[in-house]
Structure 1
């Protein structure tokens, strides 16, 4: 027996924003399974509009509130809990206005689309810059609406580090989506025709409607008195078999607390992939098969207009919270061989420890980001190292990649750093040094230098460096940079052989341009 509070089961919730935006044309495409198909195909008794409101673990019974049957009880041998998560609606004044919407299910999607179409909506404030908020902003903009994202944090998309997500923020602005960062919502004021969004800074944004996407919380209120253990934020605590503290009760999906595969800390991951795996593992164990869930690594991806951003493993903040030391490198490879038409640049960031173990990766670009992050995600899952990344044999033809794939290149750069072939430094680290202690050396061509450079840099093109090295002061540290890091590395090797103390800026001048 399956109970579902709403009208629909097994719908493509990740596709909801794209139906609102008109990218997905047919509503029925979002309905993966129905109650009827589950009955005919699997002989499962699906009861929609039936909400489980209580679990009696002592007597193995659930209390159900049904639109058709009223309140009744049903017994069970095994119970699987998959209640998911609901949108957070904080106690902000005006939060209950009928101009404020959340997006969780088909009914929410229908309500949003219906309101836009019937009310002649022209402006929307999206409160919250998570994945759903950003996807909604893109799709509302595609409908021709004026859209503002309001985010209380300093950047959107929390799983990404700030030095990667800035590219996403630029893409949003480039496509006409306004961003208000580091400023949360203080109050909503419904003026009749419009709704005013009053921010903590005192700024007021007028809009026709608001999409509230400031986060989600596990929908586990109905089991608080059941004896099933919950975590500090209300998530269901399970073991590696997805089993709760009650032997015959299992749980899966957005409502469960899991182990972070990289840090080992407890976390919650609201992603479709892990939820599907957890459901399969719970079913296996109920059926007598021995399956275990080894933790979540948070592999995620998002399309933002023409841009793709993807992440896997831990970000810098997660590693710092876990007390894990790490190193990082940036590379800016092409999506495929640069001489083949259509190659586009991407940025890859790799996090790893002193042993070379890969801890996390993030990527952003217009083509080929997905497969690079997926390859690194697989390496993380098998506890791979940067040496493994360098050694991977990946498919190559000019339209698809380079002979040294970006994943290989990330491995090479990290490997060089770990084996002391290069002294890597980031621009953030450079900014903390005393300017009197170093010389900033730009080894790009004179033309590149004229088009833009870091203030105070000395320009000696790489091809002239061997002959002009004596122009540099050996008593000072040399910090070399080029466009992406390769020429900077060669310059570092040349000057090191000549007795200089040299660092190479990872990511080069491209990082400066990207972060502006």
Structure 2
């Protein structure tokens, strides 16, 4: 994918006279608005097949929960308001059915028939469509998605119906299939409305884009709010429930609600039974399926435009497709991941809006900024927790064969002596030269601030040294003199320059087999849980007991750990100062038990 700046003709006489935009919402409407601000002369026509051309789809779960009370608050603009403010010709209920590239026309179908619409420049912003997993009964009326305004309308109706038939002994129940961003938001919304919820996820942890050692924090938060987790399994069928809902086999689904055993169907006959791949059966009043999306690129494919390996529309740095008169933006296009270089769709509203702006500039002959590779920065609220990601995950770095060093830390979000401090759990990956490659965070406060700083650092190509020197706002209610972002830089510096050699929680089996494990926590902490065969020496006693440690190690490396990695860092420095081969567990026991849940038992 080219990444060079392109200059198009700036003479207004060379600019397209008629711009046709297929698809509204984020990318399409951003392009239409930017095009009008650049040219009062252009005719700008927007074709939207749904009744809604500009709505806040990211707000749909919060309308489902009732936090956004008024449905109309989700509708940002109407055809009438866009005509009045921007002189746009917006046509809802108009579907682009085919493109004749030679004639430069689009065949448009409506409820009243079809017509041919000529264009000078065509922008495709069709978005994405929900993936339909292989579930028998996926078209059952109880099964819903959560992507559009009609989706949330239908889902709210079903929620209201279930609540109306609920009783004290039988609260309403929902099964949510897919524990990605939208799935987690749907879970929170349904619990807020009074539902008992079963969450089904094919992978082995919730929020698959999150690194595995952070995901248990979300899982604990979900179960604390009564959500039953079914991980590593899929839904296979949805059928009408009988007079009595099928019981869940004992132990088959792990954290089922006690009330999910036998329960009668409601009087409306609206209950269903969802069968899982390991044989469990869950009764529910409604099912929400959100297992991902795929690019809505059929129109482009049928027109013969180039597509990528994952079916997304290929574009250049100016968002031009393989046809010089057709541009494309949004969830349907192929973009480049900024760190790994992997090409594919990234269905996020922020990039789509920026792409629409750049495409409009290119379509109207303006000098454009080259398309930036996408970091994939995203954030989600899960009850009292916030989880956020930016850049490359550990899994994607491994997949791309990129060498990296991972650091974990658990600092407070503001000064610890100021009331209300809580931990921000941070994971970040760095290249051997110190460049930040990706970061993730989970916590109750301060996550959004840190992930935005780290996303900016990624875009700027900053290193661990740069993070260590960032001058961030500090007052006790807001942060610390050593902000968590600075701390991330400090820890990465130590790991990369050899001051603090690390071992990772994923290396536990090898570490226990070939090294001395040194636990430097307090006696009380060790009593709660510890690694068998480890030597216990509190870090404050280490200097006085070095001979004991040296004898126990007997020439082996020493793998040190504490609760979070701070005391064990100090201990590692003591060991190395005494000529011993000490290594510090990145993230400490908090990370270790997240990777190995059996250690918590």
Partner of residue 320 from structure 2, selected from 243, 249, 253: 243
* CA distance in 1 between partners of 2:313 and 2:592 (Å): 44
Residue in 2 that maps onto 1:216: 293
2:93 pairs, out of 49, 59, 68, with 49
Q: In structure 1, what is the equivalent of residue 352 of structure 2?
A: 275
TM-score by length of 1: 0.97
The answer on whether the counterparts of 2:222 and 2:382 sit within 8 Å (CA) in structure 1 is: yes
Q: Please, which moves more after superposition, 271-280 or 181-190? A: 181-190
Flag the 1:24–1:483 CA change in 2: closer, same or farther, 3 A: same
- Asked if structure 2 preserves the Cα contact closer than 8 Å seen for 1:94 and 1:190, the reply is no
Aligned-partner SS, 2:331: coil
- 1:507 alignment counterpart: 587
Distance 2:359 2:176 in 1: 36
| Distance apart, 1:481 and its partner CA | 1.3
**After the TM superposition, which residues 385-400 of structure 1 pair with which residues of structure 2 at under 5 Å, given as runs?**
385-400=463-478
Q: Which residue of 1 aligns with 2:256?
A: none
Aligned-residue CA RMSD (Å): 1.4
Q: Deviations over 1:140-180 (max 9, x none)?
A: 01101011111111122221111111211111111111110
> Is the 2:274–2:283 Cα contact (8 Å) retained in structure 1?
yes
Partners of 1:331 and 1:348 within 8 A in 2: yes
**1:478 counterpart (548, 553, 558):** 558
Matched, 1:225 2:302: yes
Instruction: Give the match's secondary structure for 1:236.
Output: coil
Matching of residues 34-433 of structure 1 within 5 Å: 34-67=78-111, 69-120=112-163, 122-191=172-241, 192-287=269-364, 288-433=366-511
Give the drift of 1:119: 4.2
Deviation per CA, 1:452-489: give whole Å up to 9, x if none: 33333322122211111111124222111122112111
**Structure 1 residue 514 displacement after superposition:** 4.2
Tell me: higher relative CO, structure 1 or 2? Use CA pairs within 8 A at least 6 residues apart.
2
- Pairwise CA distance, 1:43: 0.3
Separation in 1 of the partners of 2:134 and 2:492? 47
Shift of 1:434: 4.8
Residues 251-298 of structure 1 deviation map (CA, whole Å, 9 limit, x = unaligned): 111111101111112021111111111111111111223222111111
1:492 and 2:536 aligned: no
* 2:67 match: 23
1:14 alignment partner, one of 35, 53, 58:
58
The total of aligned residue pairs comes to 514
Give the Cα–Cα distance (whole angstroms) in 2 for the partners of residues 269 and 56 of structure 1.
28
Q: Deviations over 1:317-347 (max 9, x none)?
A: 1111211111101000001000001100121
TM-score scaled to structure 2, two decimals?
0.83
**TM superposition shift of 1:497:** 1.5
Larger deviation, residues 294-303 vs 114-123: 114-123
- Cα-to-partner distance string for 1:399-440 (whole Å, 9 max, x where unaligned): 1111011011011111111111111111221322353x3222
Runs of 4+ with deviation above 6 angstroms: none
Unaligned stretches of 5+ residues in structure 2: 1-44, 166-171, 242-268
